[in-house]
Structure 1
Amino acid sequence: MTETHPDGDPALLLTDFVNTLNIEPGTDEIATPAELAGWLAEQGLVPGGTPAGDADLHTAITLREGLREAMSAHHGPRGADYPDDLEDALAALPLRIALTGPRPALVPLDPPGSAAAGLARIAAAITDSVAAGTWPRLKVCQEDTCRWAFLDTSKNRSRSWCSMSVCGNRTKTRAYRARRRSG
C-alpha cells in the first residue's frame, strides 16, 4: 500500500508532516496527542476518532524533527549521515515489507485504527518518495528562523530557501549589511 498525500505525492505528505511545526511563529499543529490524532485523520492515515497517546506524540515529534534534519542534509554532499533520532523513530514504528504489487513496499503492522499505524504510513512515504525520485529533492529552508520543508523543483536541485522573495531576501540583505559594516 503506497502512502501518499491526498494530491498523490508521497513527498507532499512528508513536507506537510514536517511543516506541522511552523518555527517562525512557533505554532505546532500536533502539540498534543488529540491534535496528532486529528492531523493523522485529516490526512486519511487513520480513521476519524483514532486515539493517540503520549508515546505516539513523542514518536511523532521525533520522526518529524528527524525528517527535518534529513531534509536539511539534502543541501549537502551526497551520502550525508541522517540523524540517529530519525533512525530510532523509524525503528520504533511497526512496519514490514510486503511483496505484493509491482514492487516491494513498506506497510504498517498495526491495525489501521492506531496512531502508530498512521505514523508508520508516514515512514512508508519515505521509501515511496525514494522510488518516485523526490527524496533527495526534499529540503528545508536554510533560513534559521524558518526551516520550512519544501520540494526543490529547480532544474539543478540548488534551491536553498522556501521562498526567494521572503527568506532568500532576508538572508541576502543580512549578508549585504554585514559586508557594508565590515567594509
Structure 2
Amino acid sequence: MLPYSGRMYRPAELLRDLVNTHDVASGTDGLAAPADLTGWLRDRGLAAPGERATDDDLMLAVDLREGLRAALCPAPVPSGLPDTAGPAARLAAALAAVPLRVTLAGGVPGCEPIATGAARGVGLIAAAVLGAHADGDWPRLKVCAEHTCRWAFIDASKNRSRAWCSMRVCGNRTKTRAYRARRQIAAS
C-alpha cells in the first residue's frame, strides 16, 4: 500500500491514475509541465511541499506513463495509430533510468527509490509496478481496448476478461463499428 491523498492506495491504483493523466480521447495532458507533475505527486503524498519537479523528472514520468499504457494494452494498436513499440522502448528506458534499491523490511522484500525530491516520487511510481505484481493486481491492470479511449482501469471481473473501461460507451462503440463493417461487407 502507498500513501496518497490522505489514504492508502494499492500500487495498481497509482499506476492507473498515472496512465490516466493523459486523456487520449480529448487530447488533454495533466502532466504538461513540471509544475503539473509536482502537484500530482504532492496530491498523492509522493512529494513534500518544498520539492519541485524538473523537466527531466517530467520527461521520465511521461515516458513511464506512455510505456505503461503500451504495456497494459490488451491488443495491438490498429493500423493508422501510433506504434506501441516506441512507448514500450520508452518504458524500458524509463524503468532503467530510475535508481531503485532492493530492501528487506520485517522479512518482506521491497523496492525503494534512491533519488530525492520529485525524482523520488517518480521512483515510487516505478516501484509500484513490482507492488502491483506482488499484490496480484498487475494482470488486472488494463487499458481500454477502444483505440479512441485508452483509459486505464482495474479489471474487477471474476475471470479477468473485461476489455473496455465502460461497456456502455467504449464497448458499445467498438461493437457498433464492427456490426456496421459486417453489414457493409454483406451488402457488397
Structure 1 gaps, min length 5: none
The alignment partner of 1:99 has SS state of strand
The corresponding residue for 2:101 is 96
User: What CA deviation, in whole Å up to 9, does each residue of 1:39-77 have, x standing for no partner?
Assistant: 01111101123111111111011000011111115x69x
The corresponding residue for 2:145 is 142
Distance of 1:102 and 1:156 partners within structure 2: 32
Paired residues of 2:2 and 2:8 also in contact (CA < 8 A): no
Distance of 1:24 and 1:159 partners within structure 2: 20
Paired residues, number: 175
Q: Does 1:156 align with 2:159?
A: yes
- Cα distance change on mapping 1:128 and 1:86 into 2, 3 Å: same
Paired residues of 1:3 and 1:124 also in contact (CA < 8 A): no
Paired residues of 1:14 and 1:122 also in contact (CA < 8 A): yes
Distance of 2:44 and 2:163 partners within structure 1: 27
The alignment partner of 1:104 has SS state of strand
TM value normalised by structure 1: 0.90
Structure 2 gaps, min length 5: 77-84
Aligned with 1:165 (options 152, 168, 176): 168
The corresponding residue for 2:61 is 60
Distance of 2:20 and 2:50 partners within structure 1: 23
Paired residues of 1:94 and 1:116 also in contact (CA < 8 A): no
- Cα distance change on mapping 1:7 and 1:174 into 2, 3 Å: farther
Q: Which runs of 4+ in 1 moved over 4 A?
A: none
The corresponding residue for 2:81 is none
TM value normalised by structure 2: 0.87
- Cα distance change on mapping 1:171 and 1:50 into 2, 3 Å: same
Distance of 1:170 and 1:7 partners within structure 2: 35
Q: Compare the two structures and name the one with the higher strand fraction.
A: 2
- Cα distance change on mapping 1:145 and 1:137 into 2, 3 Å: same
CA drift of 1:110 comes to 1.8
